[in-house]
Amino acid sequence: MNQGRFLSVTAFACLLVLAASASRAATEDGVLVRTHLKYAHRAALSAPRGLRSSAALVVDTTHSSILYSHNAEVAMPIASITKLMTALVVMDAGQALDEPLEVTAEDRSLRRGSRSRLSPGTLLTRGDLMHLALMASENHAAHALGRNYPGGLGACVAAMNAKARELGMTNAHFVEPTGLSDENVASPSDLSKLVMAAAKVPAIREYSTDGNYQVRVGRRMVRFRTTDSLVTRPDWKIEVQKTGYISEAGRCLVMQTVIENRTVVIVLLNSYGKRTRVADARRIRKWMEARLTSQPTPLAATTPVATTT
């Protein structure tokens, strides 16, 4: 074999080796790409399916981890979720729950959506007003609580914003105690901290999870009922909850509940449809139960979350 032919054969052999290597690399890269896509698909399937809330957050406080997050850092109107903060600062102020307070015309002169069965002159204890504000989302009861805060309504709102800063609610802002204003805003992440703080207060836990409550208004007894149908369900163990609605906020729901022996905070904001927030809560519960059955520990890839003190 002459030298020129030998060099041609050698070059051709080298090209074959390089081509084979390139083919293997391409195949390996293809496997890697398909593997990543496969795991990405699994990750997508790991989220609760069919949620209709614009923003949602699920926090496993038992293991200090975030299980699901969607628009969790976006501040938006929170409607009557505000009342949890109102109750929290009233309790922080150490005001007596058995002190009688009068509902006045000022409490009834609120903006739209402020219908109430509490007529001016109604005399209820502070505990009664808080009970109605948390359980039945009674706007005039919440306003009366703020009006009778030490220093008045302005001092109450200032305390609400100070408490938000203390809890690390970095996107939260409050302008009044009822939630009727769309200027009361917070993110799901903020609200998870509020819920955890509220759950540490026995009175807030009790009042927010009651199914119905009766008070005397004038000469008759008036029965109020919860705005959250889940608290009366025997298959739910809810430790604290609050609903909310104004047109700008949509349907909202926050709660701390126990699912499969795990304490879980669920935040749902701007749910589409009257019953969707409750349906979303049920979807999240079924999702957790299914994953815990198939994969007890860990539930999913999670992110550590800071708890309130």
Which residues fall within 8 angstroms of residue 226, CB to CB, at 6 or more apart? 135, 136, 210, 211, 212, 232
CA-to-CA separations, 244 to 162, 185, 215, 231, in angstroms, rounded: 22, 12, 22, 15
Q: Catalytic annotation on 83? A: yes
Residue 290, phi-psi category: left (phi > 0), alpha (psi -120 to 50), beta (remainder): alpha
Q: Is residue 41 part of a domain?
A: no
Enclosing domain of residue 276: 51-304
CATH for 104: 3.40.710.10
118: tokens are 């509490």
Active site annotation includes 80: yes
Domain presence at residue 173: yes
Q: Is residue 19 part of a domain?
A: no
**Of 137, 181, 187, 208, which residue is the catalytic one?**
137
Q: Angle of helix 139-147 relative to helix 153-167, nearest 10 degrees?
A: 100
Is 109 contained in some domain? Answer: yes
Task: Write down the catalytic residue from 53, 80, 192, 208.
Answer: 80
C-beta of residue 205 within 8 angstroms of C-beta of residue 254: no
Q: Report if residue 250 sits inside a domain.
A: yes
Per-residue pLDDT of the chain (309 residues; tens, 9 = 90+): 444 444 444 444 444 444 444 444 333 333 333 323 333 333 334 778 888 899 999 999 988 899 999 999 999 999 999 999 999 999 999 999 999 999 999 998 766 656 788 989 999 999 999 999 999 999 999 999 999 999 999 999 999 999 999 999 999 999 999 999 999 999 999 999 999 999 999 999 999 999 999 999 988 999 999 999 999 999 999 999 999 999 999 999 999 999 989 999 999 999 887 788 999 999 999 998 888 766 545 454 445 455 454
Q: Would 249 be classed as within a structural domain?
A: yes
The predicted structure's pLDDT at residue 274 = 76
Count of the separate structural domains present in the chain: 1
pTM for the complete prediction?
0.81
Set 83, 163, 193, 242: catalytic member:
83
Looking at the domain assignment, is residue 209 inside a domain?
Answer: yes
Residues 6+ apart with CB under 8 A from 67: 58, 59, 60, 264, 288, 299, 300, 302
Contacts of 191 (CB under 8 A, 6+ apart): 57, 78, 81, 169, 254, 267, 269
Asked, for residue 33, whether it belongs to a domain, the answer is no
For 250-277, how does the pLDDT look when each residue is reduced to its tens digit (9 = 90+)? Answer: 999 999 999 989 999 999 999 887 788 9
